[in-house]
């Protein structure tokens, strides 16, 4: 059943009339309206410069860092307006956590990478730290590969392992929403499959909003998807609708590869 048709479950993320303009007057998002349900794996896809990364960055207010940009409209997470003056932005970014395309481990061991954020949050208890490390590595499907070398450098991991490490680093902070911007770019097919599999498990606990590597990847893993073009949201629907039976001609043209 289409999750959007379950009226009694309040959406995890609600976006309404969201417009975002860069200082050079480039309108990157135009009146976006979108609701994302809890435990959905929601995919934002579309050609380059369609506004996908900008939308992800607005959702945890990383976009605040761009001076002179203008934003209008509403974003609610758990019903709470994320732009309200009393919102603690650091706490918002822990709850709505971003994993970037290019994995960036911190200097230090695998264990250090996973406990850094927790220590910053004031958690010092060794047993708690170890439990969080183990659990987040298992959730990110990396535990078996690194359990015997937690205290060796994170830089020695392969690209796919670094990507899962960065995912585990977010998970250690127990977010609610995970934002993934092309998390399998640069990964080989086997690592890509491993990351995709771990996402399918993770959505049982988290809400995932992801920009995919390709239309094919979107069609493999999305519960629902939104097609973006030139900063506009063209169509939103189930995987079946978007990739087999799109209602909008532009969605169809893009999905079948008539433009890219």
Ligand X SMILES: Nc1ncnc2c1ncn2[C@@H]1O[C@H](COP(=O)(O)OP(=O)(O)OP(=O)(O)O)[C@@H](O)[C@H]1O
Residues lying near ligand X in the complex (CB under 6 A): 22, 24, 26, 28, 46, 48-54, 66
Q: What is the distance between the terminal CA atoms of the chain, rounded to a whole angstrom? A: 30
Q: How far is the CB of 49 from Mg ion (least distance, A)?
A: 8
Given Mg ion, ligand X, none, residue 143, with its beta carbon under 5 to 8 Å by kind, binds none
Closer residue to Mg ion, CB minimum distance, 37 or 217: 217
Smaller CB separation from ligand X, 154 or 177: 177
Cβ distance to ligand X smaller for residue 63 or 136: 63
Cβ at position 102, least distance to ligand X in Å: 12
Could you tell me the maximum CA-CA distance found in the chain, to the nearest angstrom? 56
Nearest approach, Cβ of 66 to ligand X (angstroms)? 6
Which of residues 70 and 201 has its CB atom nearest to ligand X in the complex?
70
Strands (E), the chain: 13-21, 27-36, 41-45, 70-77, 80-81, 96-99, 177-181, 207-211, 224-229, 232-238
Say which residue the tokens 């709850």 belong to.
Answer: 95
**Cβ contacts of 25-32, under 8 Å, gap ≥ 24:** 27/231, 28/54, 28/231, 29/54, 29/55, 29/58, 29/231, 30/230, 30/231, 30/232, 31/73, 31/232, 32/73, 32/232, 32/233
**Residues within the interface to Mg ion (CB under 5 A):** 53
Nearer to Mg ion, 56 or 141 (CB): 56
Q: How far is the CB of 91 from Mg ion (least distance, A)?
A: 25
Q: Of Mg ion, ligand X, none, which one does residue 238 interact with (CB within 5 to 8 Å by kind)?
A: none
Nearest distance in Å: CB 208, Mg ion? 17
């Amino acid at each position: 059943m289409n999750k959007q048709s379950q009226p009694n479950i309040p959406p995890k993320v609600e976006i309404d009339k969201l417009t975002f303009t860069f200082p050079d007057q480039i309108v990157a998002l135009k009146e976006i309206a979108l609701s994302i349900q809890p435990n959905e794996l929601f995919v934002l896809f579309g050609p380059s410069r369609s506004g996908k990364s900008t939308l992800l960055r607005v959702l945890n207010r990383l976009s605040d860092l761009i001076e002179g940009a203008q934003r209008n409209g509403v974003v609610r997470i758990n019903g709470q307006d994320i732009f309200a003056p009393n919102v603690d932005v650091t706490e918002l970014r822990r709850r709505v956590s971003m994993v970037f395309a290019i994995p960036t481990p911190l200097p230090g061991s695998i264990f250090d990478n996973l406990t850094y954020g927790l220590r910053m949050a004031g958690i010092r208890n060794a047993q708690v730290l170890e439990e969080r490390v183990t659990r987040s590595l298992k959730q990110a499907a990396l535990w078996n590969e690194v359990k015997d070398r937690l205290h060796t450098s994170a830089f020695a991991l392969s690209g796919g392992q670094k990507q899962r490490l960065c995912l585990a680093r977010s998970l250690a902070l127990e977010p609610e929403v995970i934002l993934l911007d092309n998390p399998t770019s640069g990964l080989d097919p086997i690592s890509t499959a491993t990351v995709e599999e771990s996402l399918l498990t993770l959505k049982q606990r988290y809400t995932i909003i992801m920009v995919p590597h390709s239309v094919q990847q979107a069609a493999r893993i999305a519960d629902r998807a939104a097609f973006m073009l030139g900063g506009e949201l063209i169509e939103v629907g189930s995987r079946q609708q978007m990739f087999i039976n799109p209602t909008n001609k532009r969605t169809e043209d893009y999905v079948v590869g008539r433009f890219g």
